[in-house]
């Protein structure tokens, strides 16, 4: 009986050990799964943190952008206000220059008014009646209107090149001086572009001067299409032109010069019934990077133009410091 009990007890001990081993294995499995869950939880929390950081970054960047846009809008308004003030001053200076440069035109207008007034007075002396007075008043109005138109046309001719419609050399000299003074006063950059037509003499010799004049006119039209109302295209002489770019840095001037060059290169010019291939070479100088005086910045831009010519033409070069 004791043997059976011992055998039974031994069997129960083996079963108990087996259960203990199973429990240990189960515990190890549970521990392993628990560690896996912890890793997944950490990964998930990491993704949530990254998502939160991205959202915060977007919110912060959006706020910064709004602030920058608001400040930029205020800056643009201030700049527009300053530009309007400068333009009014420039217009006033131009009018002063025209009045100074055109005494002979004023004298001519004064003499013409005196002559017309004498003619009208003589008519009044010879004739009477209310109807005559009405006619005389109308004639005075017409004469005055005609004289005003003549004065405006004379003023326009004083600053405009008659062949091309660009500003003339006299206006260029005055305007460049004014823009340099404004740039110095407001501590802005400004650029001067000088360009001329490649092999223009060959165009005149081959197709005639009428075709050459037409080429000059169309080059001006093409160049103006690349400029804004704040830019000034002038005929410097012959086939050479200048562009005054106020409040413009050299990088912007290069883009404008290249637009002009490509527009002219792609434009179709005609000499009679034949197509003429026209290209231009350009030189750029910047105030105050390359020069601070009017004569010096003209010389720098002209030197850059000469370099463009020597480099094979149909290209843009920047002045050397």
Question: Is 15 assigned a catalytic role?
Answer: no
What's 196's DSSP letter? Answer: E
Give the count of beta carbons closer than 10 Å to the beta carbon of residue 206. Answer: 13
Q: Is the peptide bond between 125 and the residue preceding it cis, with omega within 30 degrees of 0?
A: no
The beta strands (E) that lie in the chain are given as: 190-197, 231-237, 240-245, 269-271, 274-276, 280-287, 316-318
Measured CA to CA in angstroms, residue 300 lies from 50, 140, 198 at distances of 56, 53, 20
What tokens does 32 get?
């392993």
> Could you give the angle at which helices 200-207 and 209-224 cross, rounded to 10 degrees?
140
Cα–Cα dist 225/212, whole Å = 20
What residues of the chain score a pLDDT lower than 70?
Answer: 1-2, 74, 81, 84, 86-87, 90-91, 93-102, 104-107, 109-110, 113, 117, 121, 123-137, 139-141, 143-155
At 168-201, the pLDDT tens digits run: 999 999 999 999 999 999 999 999 999 999 999 9
Q: Contact 267/224 with Cβ under 8 angstroms?
A: no
Please tell me the pTM assigned to this model.
0.56
Cα–Cα dist 55/220, whole Å = 53
Cα–Cα dist 306/288, whole Å = 21
Of 179, 239, 247, 286, the active-site residue reads 239
């Amino acid at each position: 009986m004791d043997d059976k009990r011992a055998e039974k007890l031994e069997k129960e001990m083996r079963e108990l050990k087996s259960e203990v081993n199973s429990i240990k294995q189960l515990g190890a499995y549970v521990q392993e799964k628990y560690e896996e869950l912890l890793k997944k939880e950490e990964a998930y929390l990491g993704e949530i943190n990254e998502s939160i950081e991205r959202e915060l970054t977007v919110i912060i960047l959006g706020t910064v952008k709004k602030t920058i846009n608001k400040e930029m809008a205020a800056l643009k308004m201030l700049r527009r206000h300053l530009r309007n003030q400068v333009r009014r001053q420039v217009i006033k200076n131009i009018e002063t220059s025209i009045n100074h440069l055109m005494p002979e035109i004023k004298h001519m207008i004064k003499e013409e008014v005196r002559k017309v007034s004498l003619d009208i007075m003589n008519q009044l002396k010879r004739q009477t009646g209310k109807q005559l007075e009405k006619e005389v008043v109308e004639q005075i109005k017409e004469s005055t209107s005609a004289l005003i138109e003549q004065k405006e046309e004379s003023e326009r001719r004083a600053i405009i090149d008659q062949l091309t419609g660009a500003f003339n050399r006299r206006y260029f000299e005055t305007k460049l001086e004014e823009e340099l003074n404004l740039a110095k006063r407001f501590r802005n950059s400004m650029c001067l572009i000088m360009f001329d037509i490649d092999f223009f003499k060959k165009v005149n010799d081959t197709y005639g001067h009428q075709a050459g004049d037409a080429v000059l006119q169309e080059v001006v039209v093409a160049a103006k299409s690349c400029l804004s109302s704040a830019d000034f295209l002038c005929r410097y002489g012959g086939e050479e032109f200048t562009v005054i770019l106020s409040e413009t840095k050299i990088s912007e001037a290069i883009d404008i010069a290249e637009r002009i060059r490509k527009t002219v290169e792609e434009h179709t010019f005609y000499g009679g019934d034949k197509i003429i291939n026209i290209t231009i070479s350009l030189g750029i100088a910047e105030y105050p990077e390359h020069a601070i005086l009017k004569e010096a910045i003209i010389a720098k831009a002209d030197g850059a133009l000469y370099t463009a010519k020597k480099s094979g033409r149909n290209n843009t070069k920047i002045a050397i410091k």
